[in-house]
Amino acid sequence: MKLLCEHCRREIAKIYRKRLQIPLDHTMFDSKDYERGYPHPFRGVMDWLDFHCPYCMRRPMISQFKIMTDEGWVDLSTEEDKIKLMCQQYAKKQRKSAKKRVVKS
Protein backbone atom coordinates (compact mmCIF):
# COMPACT_ATOMS: atom_id res chain seq x y z
CA MET A 1 0.00 0.00 0.00
CA LYS A 2 1.29 3.52 -0.76
CA LEU A 3 0.83 6.69 1.24
CA LEU A 4 -0.46 9.58 -0.87
CA CYS A 5 0.00 13.24 -0.06
CA GLU A 6 -3.39 14.79 0.68
CA HIS A 7 -2.35 18.01 -1.07
CA CYS A 8 -0.65 16.95 -4.30
CA ARG A 9 -1.87 13.30 -4.37
CA ARG A 10 1.57 11.91 -5.24
CA GLU A 11 2.89 8.62 -3.84
CA ILE A 12 5.42 9.35 -1.16
CA ALA A 13 5.93 6.20 0.92
CA LYS A 14 5.31 2.49 1.14
CA ILE A 15 3.21 1.52 4.15
CA TYR A 16 2.02 -1.67 5.78
CA ARG A 17 -1.37 -1.51 7.47
CA LYS A 18 -0.23 -3.73 10.36
CA ARG A 19 2.65 -1.40 11.25
CA LEU A 20 0.51 1.75 11.40
CA GLN A 21 -0.61 3.03 14.78
CA ILE A 22 -1.17 6.28 16.65
CA PRO A 23 1.08 8.21 17.22
CA LEU A 24 2.57 7.95 13.74
CA ASP A 25 6.34 7.98 13.43
CA HIS A 26 8.90 7.59 10.67
CA THR A 27 9.55 3.88 11.32
CA MET A 28 6.07 3.06 9.94
CA PHE A 29 6.98 4.38 6.49
CA ASP A 30 9.41 3.06 3.86
CA SER A 31 10.83 4.39 0.64
CA LYS A 32 8.25 4.06 -2.10
CA ASP A 33 10.91 2.28 -4.20
CA TYR A 34 14.41 1.68 -2.79
CA GLU A 35 15.59 -0.02 -5.98
CA ARG A 36 14.94 3.08 -8.02
CA GLY A 37 16.76 5.23 -5.48
CA TYR A 38 13.92 6.94 -3.65
CA PRO A 39 15.06 7.80 -0.12
CA HIS A 40 13.11 7.07 3.05
CA PRO A 41 10.51 9.86 3.08
CA PHE A 42 10.62 10.88 6.75
CA ARG A 43 13.90 9.47 8.08
CA GLY A 44 14.68 10.66 11.58
CA VAL A 45 11.55 12.78 11.91
CA MET A 46 9.97 11.66 15.16
CA ASP A 47 6.75 13.66 15.16
CA TRP A 48 4.23 13.25 12.33
CA LEU A 49 3.53 17.01 12.59
CA ASP A 50 7.02 17.54 11.12
CA PHE A 51 6.54 15.18 8.14
CA HIS A 52 6.90 16.87 4.77
CA CYS A 53 5.84 15.73 1.34
CA PRO A 54 9.02 15.68 -0.81
CA TYR A 55 7.06 17.12 -3.76
CA CYS A 56 4.93 19.95 -2.39
CA MET A 57 6.70 20.35 0.99
CA ARG A 58 3.39 20.38 2.89
CA ARG A 59 2.46 17.91 5.63
CA PRO A 60 1.08 14.91 3.71
CA MET A 61 -1.66 14.12 6.23
CA ILE A 62 -4.03 16.64 7.77
CA SER A 63 -4.94 14.31 10.62
CA GLN A 64 -2.97 11.33 11.92
CA PHE A 65 -6.23 9.46 12.44
CA LYS A 66 -7.02 9.23 8.74
CA ILE A 67 -4.46 8.84 5.98
CA MET A 68 -4.81 8.74 2.22
CA THR A 69 -3.45 5.71 0.37
CA ASP A 70 -3.55 4.34 -3.15
CA GLU A 71 -6.20 1.90 -1.86
CA GLY A 72 -8.40 4.56 -0.29
CA TRP A 73 -8.60 6.22 3.10
CA VAL A 74 -7.24 4.31 6.10
CA ASP A 75 -8.87 5.12 9.42
CA LEU A 76 -6.39 4.66 12.28
CA SER A 77 -8.53 5.84 15.15
CA THR A 78 -9.40 3.30 17.81
CA GLU A 79 -12.86 2.87 19.30
CA GLU A 80 -11.63 4.88 22.29
CA ASP A 81 -10.57 7.78 20.02
CA LYS A 82 -13.97 7.74 18.32
CA ILE A 83 -15.81 7.86 21.65
CA LYS A 84 -13.62 10.73 22.86
CA LEU A 85 -14.32 12.67 19.66
CA MET A 86 -18.07 12.04 19.96
CA CYS A 87 -18.02 13.29 23.58
CA GLN A 88 -16.14 16.42 22.57
CA GLN A 89 -18.64 17.13 19.79
CA TYR A 90 -21.56 16.52 22.14
CA ALA A 91 -20.08 18.85 24.79
CA LYS A 92 -19.55 21.54 22.14
CA LYS A 93 -23.17 21.22 21.00
CA GLN A 94 -24.38 21.44 24.61
CA ARG A 95 -22.34 24.61 25.20
CA LYS A 96 -23.74 26.16 22.01
CA SER A 97 -27.34 25.42 22.91
CA ALA A 98 -26.73 26.69 26.47
CA LYS A 99 -25.50 29.98 25.00
CA LYS A 100 -28.62 30.23 22.81
CA ARG A 101 -30.86 29.72 25.85
CA VAL A 102 -29.07 32.52 27.71
CA VAL A 103 -29.54 34.91 24.78
CA LYS A 104 -33.28 34.17 24.52
CA SER A 105 -34.14 34.80 28.16
The binding site for Zn ion (CB under 5 A) comprises 5, 7-8, 53, 55-56
Q: Shortest approach of Zn ion to residue 60 CB, angstroms?
A: 6
Rounded Cα–Cα distance for residues 104 and 29 (Å): 53
Q: Shortest approach of Zn ion to residue 58 CB, angstroms?
A: 6
Give, rounded to a whole angstrom, the gap between the first and last alpha carbons of the chain: 56
Q: Shortest approach of Zn ion to residue 5 CB, angstroms?
A: 3
- Residue 66 CA to its chain's centroid (Å): 4
With respect to Zn ion, which residue has the nearer C-beta, 42 or 80?
Answer: 42
With respect to Zn ion, which residue has the nearer C-beta, 13 or 76?
Answer: 13
With respect to Zn ion, which residue has the nearer C-beta, 10 or 25?
Answer: 10
Name the phi and psi angles at 78, rounded to 5.
-85, 170
User: Which SS3 state, helix, strand or coil, does residue 6 take?
Assistant: coil
